[in-house]
Amino acid sequence: MSTSNKTLVIKVGGALLQCEMGTDRLMGTLAKMIARGQKIILVHGGGCIVDEQLTANGMETEKLDGLRVTPAEQVPVIVGALAGTANKLLQAAAIKAGISAIGMSLADGDIVTAKIKDKKLGFVGEVSPKSATYLEFIFSQAWLPIVSSIAIDGSGQQLNVNADQAATVLAKLVDGQLVLLSDVSGVLDGKGKLIKSLNRAQVAELTHIGVIEKGMKVKVEAALEVAELMGQPVQVASWRSAEQLLALSNGQSVGTQIQPN
Ligand SMILES: Nc1ncnc2c1ncn2[C@@H]1O[C@H](COP(=O)(O)OP(=O)(O)O)[C@@H](O)[C@H]1O
Ligand SMILES: CC(=O)N[C@@H](CCC(=O)OP(=O)(O)O)C(=O)O
């Protein structure tokens, strides 16, 4: 099992949290990688848990281009679902796998600055990298930071950040290698077949014809941004596949490679 000097920033989508086998398998893989000295930041979503908890509270949800419109009255439910339920579910699985895990959010340790993204989305945040000091301390202890995508702006307002976008910002902060793990094996073509490699022009074409849409559109755009900024491919792969996790832990390419050019 190889160890990269670069910090691996691994983002997992919310569907993982509803699959105990998937969570256990992922944490088992991460435990081995950490034991080898690999620095990892685990960023998580939890869109499906948010959906469940909004419904349980009699609230409707609306998405614009894959982003959840977040009115003031939904903020406590969304913060509870992501920074509470989802974060602690993953932290519990990490501890069960023998990992010393720090459950945290984007609001901890000055890691990012946050602002409202676009008024029409309500309390949705846009974050920028600020300080890696807190994360470096966590790595110095060989701990695993597990980060929910809740941020707080300078006025103390809690903000809901898309978790793929949160992961891109943390990858930029630590100059890390970004891997976006979802419930699909990667970006699929119109016939459901895995596309091994994509650049911006190909993404634009597939988005134009509606093959890449919704959550995958946000994900691929986030991946393109990091790939182009850092001049290295970003992987979009599956947490469901044991083979992909093994390949990932061996430093191999998995899923779809989003290319810098
Ligand atoms: N071309 C595509 N290839 C794969 N998935 C796609 C594609 N277009 C849309 N999707 C949808 O995007 C979903 C992944 O995005 P999202 O639900 O945001 O995942 P996550 O919660 O894991 O971040 C897939 O489950 C699928 O429904
Ligand atoms: C603004 C926005 O859309 N926030 C997302 C945050 C969670 C997320 O991104 O979860 P997945 O990775 O599981 O999709 C949401 O409220 O669903």
Percent over 90 (pLDDT), the chain: 91
Domain ranges in the chain are: 8-185
Q: What is the pLDDT of residues 166-215, one digit of tens each?
A: 999 999 999 999 999 999 999 999 999 999 999 999 999 999 999 999 99
Q: Which CATH number fits domain 8-185: 3.40.605.10, 3.40.50.2300, 3.40.50.300, 3.40.1160.10?
A: 3.40.1160.10
Residue with tokens 């720090």: 102
DSSP 156: S
**What ipTM was assigned to the predicted interfaces of this complex?**
0.97
37: alpha, beta or left? (left if phi > 0; alpha if psi -120 to 50): left
Closest CA to 185 of 232, 243, 260: 243
Pocket of ligand 1, beta carbon within 6 A: 13-15, 45, 47, 164, 182-184, 187-188, 211-216, 219
How big is the CA angle at 256 (ends 251 and 257), to the nearest 5 degrees? 65
How far is the centre of ligand 1, averaged over its atoms, from the C-alpha of 56 (Å)?
24
Which parts of the chain register pLDDT below 50?
1
pLDDT at 3: 60
46 among the known binding-site residues?
A: yes
